[in-house]
Amino acid sequence: MAMFSVVLPGRPCLTEAVPIQPDPNTPPTNFAFTFPAAPRFSHIVVFLLPGVTLPPDVAAAVYIQFPTQQQQPEFRFLGAIGNEKPSAIFKVSLPGSLKTMTEAEQENEMMDEGADAIDPNVTITLGIAIESTQVVREKLATLQQPSTGLELVKRAGQSSMTTKVLAQRIIGNAFNFLASFAASDPRAQGEEVISLKSFRDWWAKFERRIEADPGFLEREAS
């Protein structure tokens, strides 16, 4: 069953991750999405599909692997999603600098994906690993901007991040659209399912609205 979706601006949403399963007798805990680097993009949206709930005390850590001259390029930790925050928007730079952007820089460049041409044969791998919240918390602490990932421990009095609110509104928009297409799952009593076609229809509609009115999400009520 698909658990995650990846969205790149101007492209169809990705839902078919390749499970990396060293032991065939245990459920996979690592997944990989592979996609071309072209056309250029500067943001990646990752979220749990509707109806997916992770086990307690774990989160989904998100990593990215850029093509380099190294024989085996390293994966870079971007952040995480989880049950408390099922979606996140990550700022990336292609193909050179991997500097973490500040929140203000992310907001200013959210809709500016750049037009520079890049090698159409280059591919990028996005990895998702189910890890304990403690491990993810330690990795988030090493990022220059912890707000780029899941806020597993919220400090007292800390205000919500703009990117977090934006991600919540995107997933909320998807949920409101897809809820009317939910149907009973004949294989699991009391459960509901949504077809991937409905999800793709939502994404096409969402893209059209973003193109016509890029600021509509910012005006929606929290």
**What is the pLDDT at residue 162?**
61
Q: List, for residues 76-108, the tens digit of each pLDDT value.
A: 999 999 998 899 988 887 754 333 344 444 444
Nearest to 127 by CA among 1, 11, 24, 29: 29
Contacts of 12 (CB under 8 A, 6+ apart): 200, 203
Q: List, for residues 127-163, the tens digit of each pLDDT value.
A: 999 999 999 999 988 875 544 444 443 333 344 446 6
Of all residues in the chain, what percent carry a pLDDT higher than 70?
73
- CA quadruple 47, 50, 55, 57: dihedral positive or negative? positive
Helix (H) / strand (E) containing 26: none
Whether the predicted pLDDT of 109 surpasses 50: no
**What is the pLDDT at residue 71?**
61
pLDDT band at residue 177 under the 50/70/90 scheme: confident
Q: How open is the CA angle 77-78-82, to the nearest 5 degrees?
A: 105
147 vs 22, residue with greater confidence: 22
pLDDT band at residue 110 under the 50/70/90 scheme: very low
Q: 50-87 as b/e, with b when 16 or more CB fall inside 10 Å?
A: beeebeeebbbbbbbbbeeeeeeeebebbbbbbeebbb
Domain boundaries, the chain: 4-157
Helix (H) / strand (E) containing 212: helix 196-212
pTM of the model: 0.58
Least confident of 3-7, 54-58, 75-79, 206-210: 206-210
128 vs 211, residue with greater confidence: 128
Q: List, for residues 38-69, the tens digit of each pLDDT value.
A: 888 888 999 999 889 999 999 999 999 987 65
pLDDT band at residue 72 under the 50/70/90 scheme: low
Q: 201-218 as b/e, with b when 16 or more CB fall inside 10 Å?
A: ebbeebbeebeeeeeebe
